[in-house]
Chain A
Amino acid sequence: MRLPLLALLAKEPAHGYELKQALEATFGSAYPSPNIGQIYVTLGRLEKDGYVRAVDVEQSNRPNKKVYYLTAAGREALEAWVDEPTEGPRVRDEFFMKLVLAPLTGISDRMALVNRQRRHYLSLMRDLDELAERTDPGNRVARLLIEGAMLHLQADLDWLERCQEDLT
């Protein structure tokens, strides 16, 4: 969450609630809605690291609010993040551990595992489909996110098929 917040602050200074709203507007329902407390915790850590500075702004009939803005060090950190290539997804699949290890214990056979997992993936896929139905077709970012999730799921299913062919 740190760097997305830095990126938002690079655009303009903002207070915590504004950042939450900006995140939601950009990623839509496809992305888990951030908790406001979590945002303040993150901002506090960023401030401690010297990446952001908070300024108290007085409000007439309310308590003062903290408006955060980016420091030079924060900008440097952001630039470094954008410039470096991002790691691809890593296979650290829990199911694969089950599939390889479970038969050794005699608890379950691989065929049943694979079948159950397939149906689970399909039910996930159905959820994604329903999500896509509900998503505003104008929100391109959200749509792409869902499509990405679907493609990952399709890849998982294909991998599952390979596992079934080779391991059972």
Chain B
Amino acid sequence: MTQPPVVKVTGLVKIYQTGGLPVPAVRGVDLVVEAGEFVAIMGPSGSGKSTFVHMLGGLETRTSGEIWLDGKRADTLSESAWAVLRRQKVGFVFQFLNLVTNMTVADNVELPALLGGASPRQARERREYLLSELGLEERAAAAPGRLSGGEQQRVALARALANHPRLLLADEPTGNLDSRNTRDVLKLLGKVHRQGQTIVLVTHDARVASMADRVVSILDGQIVDDAPIARAPRRPVGTAGDIVELHG
């Protein structure tokens, strides 16, 4: 009955050694993310939020503390074991350069499935489904460089979701996009979240963060706020004018 949380982090610390000097990036973070939750992580640049998400995916090693993914201890894993865990349970989207440049869009999306041990036919079917969901079927044979930034990010998202990961990690997925492309990516994120996808996402963009169930604020490597975003009950129908007055 009680499903373990998808993410459970206790006392996570990361200290970089820069020129012999210890520089703490993350200083004792505790966090629990239940299945199906969408958590946005906000904070000023340099606050350690990217480092934190990288550690959740095993892209960086932690200095101390515990990371539990899907009920299993993960911080003690070797680099290779982390890689295997990632391909099964974690999807990653970065701010840019998500796609392997010398592979076509189709190959990029099929890669995780193949890596996870799917047959070429299964991988192709999954890819066809994902790209058609994004309306990008006709770009399947294109090189990533020929896609717009928004299309690239959507393909990256499709690839991150190719293996039905338990956890989707994203680091500023819209940081490099204009507002129209941001909207396309947001729609997709909202859709997968409604389908029950657990998401932990670092962002600066209020529009992206406002989609989350919960917002976590990080300052100087520590969590300073962790609470759900309230639904404003008193304004069932809001207008822009409530926020910005037109001077008259």
A and B in contact, CB less than 8 Å = yes
A2 to B241 alpha-carbon distance, docked (Å): 17
Asked whether B219 lies within 8 Å of A128 as measured between CB atoms, the reply is no
User: Could you say which residues of chain B place their CB within 8 Å of the CB of A162?
Assistant: 44
In whole angstroms, how far apart are the Cα atoms of A91 and B224 in the complex? 26
Q: With a CB–CB cut-off of 8 A, which chain A residues contact B224?
A: 111, 115, 164, 168
Contact A122/B248 with A31-B240, A150-B206, A161-B44 known, Cβ cut-off 8 Å: no
Is B1 on the interface with A (CB-CB < 8 A)?
A: no
Interface size on B, residues (CB 8 A): 32
Q: B42 — which chain A residues lie within 8 A by C-beta?
A: 118, 161
User: Residue on A with the closest CB to B43?
Assistant: A161
B227 A115 Cβ-Cβ under 8 A: yes
A129 at the interface (CB under 8 A from B): yes
- B223-248 CB mask vs A (1 if < 8 Å, else 0) is 01101111110010011111110111
Establish whether residues A126 and B210, one from each chain, have CB atoms under 8 Å apart when the complex forms.
yes
In the assembled complex, how far is the CB of residue A25 from the closest CB belonging to chain B, in whole angstroms?
15
Interface size class of A (residues with CB under 8 A): 35 or more
The secondary-structure label for the interface of chain A is helix
- Assess whether B217 is interfacial by the CB under 8 Å rule: yes
Known: A121-B206, A150-B207. A31 touches B239 (CB 8 A): yes
Tell me the bound Cα distance from A56 to B224 in angstroms.
Answer: 65
Q: Say if the beta carbon of B205 comes within 8 Å of chain A.
A: yes
Contact A153 B241 (CB under 8 A): no
Q: Would you mind naming 10 contact pairs between A and B with Cβ atoms under 8 Å apart? A: A2-B248, A87-B247, A118-B225, A119-B227, A122-B206, A123-B230, A127-B232, A131-B240, A149-B244, A154-B206
- Chain B interfacial positions (CB closer than 8 Å to A): 42-44, 179, 205-207, 209-211, 215, 217, 219, 224-225, 227-232, 235, 238-244, 246-248
